[in-house]
Amino acid sequence: MNETFTLTNGVMIPAIGFGTWQIPDGDPVEHAVLSALRTGYRAIDTAAIYGNETGVGAAIRASGIPRKDIFLTTKVWNDDQGYESTLNAFDASQKKLGVNYLDLYLIHWPAVGRFFDYKAKNLETWRAMERLYKDGKVRAIGVCNFLPHHLEPLWEQAEIKPMVDQVELHPGNPADDVLTWCGAKGILVQAWSPMMRGHVFDYPVLAEIAAKHGRTIPQIVLRWVLEKNVNPLTKSVTPSRIADNFDVFSFRLDPEDHEKIKTLASVGRFGSDPDQAKF
């Protein structure tokens, strides 16, 4: 397993990323991100709505690691969708993060339940993303929580095609339709909440596979994500768990492990359905 993925424009992204959802700004997120960077993570994921961009930026600077060696992602929130508002949101995020550029900027949700014509709104937002990309302010652009029927109208009209789609993906929601669609287009899929919001510990089949390999359940799940050619985002505020979750490159799952994990596919989502979310 390579320790990077390559986007369609040639930009490389570390194979496993550190997510910061629900980690408060200030000391909590600074300590968590510093711990991740010291462990070896080089991809950090945040978002405007997380409210912790300032702390994430402070941790990156405190790490002493050259900016060019860190792959930094943030996202435009639904309130800021639109052309000028997206450009303004980007500027605000960039200021909070204290960086000269971003590696990846994403539309956070298709916002189907928020806008009467969400397809037109997504395209308007995307035009701003394309401008940021052309201006060299961001190295790659993409979306989050877009299912194939959200991606199709954007793909048809986009001048610069989405390079990433970040979705809820885990053993209970393998998102096969997204993987198939994005795979055909060369879009890298990222997995948020691969730990099923902590529910990975509820399923004996995962504990059985972990015991077989002498690994933790999170390590098994992250390895499963990687072996699907998906880029996982993992999160913890505990240094030992942060380190354990990074140690997933020295073993492989067996074919029978994958077959057993398939039995969990009917569990379903733990987060919002992109077609039902009203925020």
Query: For the CA atoms of the chain, what is the radius of gyration?
Result: 18
- Rounded distance between C-alpha atoms, residue 160 and residue 163, angstroms: 9
Question: Vertex 177, ends 176 and 183: CA angle to 5°?
Answer: 85
Sign of the dihedral through C-alpha 97, 98, 103, 104 = positive
Helix/strand/coil for 79? helix
Q: Is 50 a catalytic residue?
A: yes
Pairing label, strands 4-6, 104-107: unpaired
Q: Where are the alpha helices (DSSP H) in 69-201?
A: 83-97, 118-134, 148-157, 176-185
Residue from 50, 105, 118, 133 carrying the catalytic annotation: 50
Residues across the chain: 279
For residue 196, with 0-12 CB atoms within 10 Å meaning exposed, 13-18 middle and 19 or more buried, which class applies? buried
Nearest Cα to Cα of residue 219 among 251, 262, 255: 251
Q: Which residues are tagged catalytic? A: 50
